[in-house]
Every structure is written in C-alpha cells, then in structure tokens.
Amino acid sequence: MSENDSNQWCFACGKNNPIGLKLEFREEEDKYITTFIPGPEHQGYDGIVHGGIISTLLDEVMARYPYANGMNTVTARLEVRFRQATLVGQNLTITGWVTNRRGKMLELAGAVTLPDGTVTAEGKATVINVGEIRL
C-alpha cells in the first residue's frame, strides 16, 4: 500500500472524506505547503474562518511534513497565534517548516498567509516520531 492509498478518511487530507478539507501538499526549499479557500461552511462568526479550522490547517501542514518524509509522527503540542481574522473566501497559503530536531522530537513552525503576504495566523508544534510508517 502506498502513502496515496492510506489515510483516505483524514479530515484534512483524505480524498474519501465527504466533509474533509482535501488538502494537497508540495515541498519547496525545506518547507511544506498547501493552499485552501475556506467557504461559508468553515466559518465561526459570520465571514470569519473558525479558529479550529485555522488550527487544523496549521497542525496538518506541520505534523504531515515529517510524515511525508517517512516518519510516523503525532502532535504532542500545538500553539496557534491568531494575528488577525481570516476571512472566508480568500486563497490561503499554509506553510510549515522544521525549526529543531532532538532525537525523536521535532519542533516546527507554520503560517497562514493571504495572497498579499499578510500572515493571519502562526503556529508552533512539537511532534514525536513514534516509528516508521507501516503502509
């Protein structure tokens, strides 16, 4: 079974999840990147993307980066700083990168960015490598 055949019900990246975000990722210059356009179904207050969705986007791009590189990681800690409201309907770029590695622990950072470069949210995560991926 390949990575493309696994995790198809993941809320963030699963292709079989009818209510999922269906994120797709790419790696560029030691960063992991996805894009997403939130709709009205992703809002909390009218017109503003729910903080839980923003947190999910950041968690996914940070925790999935080592996974995409062969590590079976789980999030041990997630911190999100909301810099400003993220409005529904905007094309968001979500980026994650490794900031430190100590043994089985990796620290990552992430950002949600608007097309004009404005950062609406920042994240920090600690993930733990729990072993090789078994596909």
67: CATH: 3.10.129.10
| Residue 14 covered by a domain | no
| Residue 123 covered by a domain | yes
Query: What pLDDT was estimated at residue 3?
Result: 46
Q: How far apart are CA 121 and CA 135, in angstroms?
A: 33
The parent domain of residue 120 ranges over 24-132
| Residue 89 covered by a domain | yes
For 41-76, write each residue's pLDDT tens digit: 999 999 999 999 999 999 999 999 998 888 889 999
Which residues are CB-contacts of 111 (< 8 A; sequence separation ≥ 6)?
A: 58, 94, 95, 119, 121, 122, 123
pLDDT at 4 over 70: no
| Residue 7 covered by a domain | no
| Residue 40 covered by a domain | yes
For 79-126, write each residue's pLDDT tens digit: 999 999 999 999 999 999 999 999 999 999 999 999 999 999 999 999
| Residue 70 covered by a domain | yes
Query: What pLDDT was estimated at residue 5?
Result: 57
Give the dihedral sign, CA 118/121/122/125: negative
DSSP letter, residue 57: H
Over range 9-38, report the average pLDDT. 92
CA dihedral 78, 120, 27, 67 (to 10 degrees): 20
| Residue 108 covered by a domain | yes
| Residue 34 covered by a domain | yes
How would you classify residue 35: left for phi > 0, otherwise alpha for psi between -120 and 50, otherwise beta? Answer: beta
Query: What pLDDT was estimated at residue 14?
Result: 83
The total number of structural domains in the chain stands at 1
Query: What pLDDT was estimated at residue 116?
Result: 97
Q: How many other C-beta atoms are found inside a 10 Å radius of the C-beta of residue 118?
A: 12
User: Whole-prediction pTM value?
Assistant: 0.90
Tokens representing residue 132 in the block: 């090789």
pLDDT at 6 over 90: no
Over range 19-39, report the average pLDDT. 94
